[in-house]
Structure 1
Amino acid sequence: MNSLALLLLSLSVSPSTVSALPSGGDTQLQSRQDIQSQALDLHNNARAQFGASPLTWNGEILGQVQAHANKCVFEHSGDSGVGENIAAGTGNFGMSNAMDSWMGEASKYDYNNPGFSDATGHFTQVVWKSTTQVACAIASCGANTIFSDPSHFVVCQYTPPGNFAGEFPQNVGRPVN
């Protein structure tokens, strides 16, 4: 039986977030072009639900995103000038699993007290209105790297980064009807 574990981490200028959640699985690890298409579709569909403009793909940072994913070490890259969400899971974990988990935080966001929260940092980076570009990569990681079982590591970087103190009210929109 395929067990599935998930780790998430969000980074920008604000504090980091770590959480462990169960999630379903994508059917297969995708090609780089499939990842680009899926990442943009998932991000832009999510952003539209919160009144944020669509993102474009940032091919200039893709190399650093993929290099970090390929390390199969569950930690932030430390790359400057970008926001970053990371997630990892066993089984057939992929981009849609990471996005489902990040967007699952939306219900916890407090619009009456806007600001950074460890419980919502992934969500706020995804829908941050001032962010205009994204690049994502997925790496297959061997057993005993991130988990004791083989896993997949998802890394997305965002430019310009989000989650800046004092900028949440104008950058995190309420759900649109």
Structure 2
Amino acid sequence: MFAPSTNFLLFSFLPAAGLSNFYLSPVYAALSTDLPEVQIEITDQHNELRRLVYPTARNMLKMVWNAEAAKNAKSWAEQCIYSHSPVSRRKVGNITCGENLYYSSVPKSWSSALQGWFDERDSFTFGVEPTSSNAVTGHYTQMVWYKSYEIGCSFAFCPYSALYKYYYVCHYYPAGNVVGSTTTPYKKGDPCGDCPDACDNVLCTNPCKYEDTYANCGQLKKQYTCKHPFVLKYCTGSCQCTTEIQ
């Protein structure tokens, strides 16, 4: 693996003709998330996979495309650095996005990349910590994190990488995999149990558009109510969203 600074320099000096030829090729055309049909493919497959969780979810939100998240994902993918981006590079507004990375030595469809992340569920048991130290489940849990309802992805060709030349990056808004809750990425129960009046084929369509600053906002709201200035300022999700999924 190249050091980040070396990667940047090498990528900068790639012959223009070689790079242009690749980005005009059918391979790139099938993977570029600038195309609406690719955005739809990625969003639809995420939703199809979210419908397949077991046990079933009572609060799983339906995903939609986020152009700003896709822009951030593209910015990182084009660096050809095979590690997670700094948190500062995956912000939409003031909200941090989660991030899944996939690299391959040969071009693969987006469907294959997404399925690769989802297949980590074979090592996942709801509510139970993995028993193997080698178990990797974080890509799966981010994909099915109930509250991550917007997605933006991008693809980059990394010609000077020794092994992995094809790089796929997805950003999830808002971020999942909250510390302490990674074994319960959603509430299990009857599909749409928490959104009976806002349900589209077992996925909820009523996300809360506000975020709490503190994890214990539910308790603060109950104890002090939203009339308290502190609660009103820092617990906007809990105060503004009474029926939405938050």
What is the TM-score of this pair, normalised by structure 2?
A: 0.53
**Cα distance, 1:169–1:105 mapped onto 2, change above 3 Å:** closer
Of 152-161 and 46-55, the range deviating more from structure 2: 46-55
Cα distance in 1 for residues equivalent to 2:113 and 2:125: 22
Per-residue CA deviations over 1:7-40 (Å, capped at 9, x if unaligned) read: xxxxxxxxxxxxxxxxxxxx83323223311210
**Residues 114 and 160 of structure 1, relative CA distance in 2, 3 Å threshold:** farther
Structure ranking higher in helix proportion: 2
Matched AA of 2:156: A
**Which one has more relative contact order, counting CA pairs under 8 Å at least 6 apart?**
1
1:56 matched residue in structure 2: 64
Unaligned runs of 5+ in 2: 1-25, 89-95, 192-246
- Correspondence 1:109-124 to 2 at 5 A: 109-113=124-128, 119-124=136-141
- Tell me if structure 2 keeps the 8 A contact 1:39–1:95: yes
Looking at CA atoms only, which structure, 1 or 2, has the larger radius of gyration? 2
1:93 is aligned to 108
Query: Percent identity over the alignment?
Result: 27
- The letter of the residue matching 1:141 is C
Q: Is the 8 A contact 1:94 1:138 kept in 2?
A: no
Note if 1:135 corresponds to 2:135.
no
Change (3 A) 1:168 1:79: closer
Q: CA contact under 8 A between 1:94 and 1:152: conserved in structure 2? A: no
Residue in structure 2 matched with residue 40 of structure 1 by the alignment: 43
How far apart are 1:74 and its partner, in Å?
0.8
RMSD after superposition? 2.5
Pair 167,152 (structure 1): closer, same or farther in 2 beyond 3 Å = same
Aligned mates of 2:42, 2:113 — CA distance in 1:
10
One-letter code of the match for 2:170? C
Within a 5 Å distance, the mapping from 1:1-177 to structure 2 comes to 28-29=27-28, 30=30, 31=32, 32-33=34-35, 34-50=37-53, 51=57, 52-80=60-88, 81-113=96-128, 119-142=136-159, 144-145=160-161, 147-148=162-163, 151-168=165-182, 171-172=185-186
SS in structure 2 of the partner of residue 44 of structure 1: helix
Which amino acid is the alignment partner of residue 59 of structure 1? A
In the alignment, the residues of structure 2 paired with residue 62 and residue 56 of structure 1 have an alpha-carbon distance, to the nearest angstrom, of 12
Paired residue for 2:4? none
Q: Which amino acid aligns with 1:158?
A: Y
User: Residues 141 and 128 from structure 1, CA distance in 2 versus in 1: closer, same or farther, beyond 3 angstroms?
Assistant: same
- Give the TM-score of the pair, scaled to structure 1: 0.72
Measure, in 2, the Cα distance between the counterparts of 1:93 and 1:56.
23
- Which consecutive segments of 4 or more residues in structure 1 shift more than 4 A? 173-176
Residue 171 of structure 1 deviates from its aligned partner by: 2.7
Distance (whole Å) between structure 2 residues aligned to residue 140 and residue 174 of structure 1: 39
Provide, for residues 78-104 of structure 1, a one-character-per-residue CA deviation record: whole Å limited to 9, x for no partner. 134110000110222232221111011
Contact 2:98 2:171 (8 Å CA) reproduced: yes
Report which of the two has the higher share of strand: 1
